[in-house]
Amino acid sequence: MAAEHITDDNFDTAIEGDLPVVVDFWAEWCGPCKQMSPHLEAVAEELAGKVKVAKINVDENPVAASKFGVRGLPTLMMFKDGKVAATHLGAMSKQRIAEWIKESA
């Protein structure tokens, strides 16, 4: 399952559920975000059913980024039961994303 694009309006419902949710805070102008995007999509496919992956554009949806103190991009946050369980700032390789998810889930 590919990453779901979410907004400030549906953020709270998107991070709820039985599965851990990885949220990618990104922006169109962010080079490292663009580099990491295909890796994150691939991991979303590989870990489908084990973790949910969501992406939120911080320029179009500033409320969620502000609420969770996002100061740099890309920022990945793992949510469990609607609460932040882990945070990673900066781009990662596909292998490192998968490792981080498994360590944090």
Catalytic positions, written as ranges: 30, 33
Angle made by CA atoms 94, 89, 53, in degrees to the nearest 5: 50
Instruction: Tell me if 15 sits within 8 A of 55, measured CB to CB.
Output: no
Cα within 13 Å of Cα(87), Cβ side: 13
Could you give the CA distance from residue 12 to residue 95 in angstroms, rounded to a whole number? 28
Instruction: Tell me if 97 sits within 8 A of 39, measured CB to CB.
Output: yes
Tracing tokens 């981080």 back to the chain, one arrives at: 100
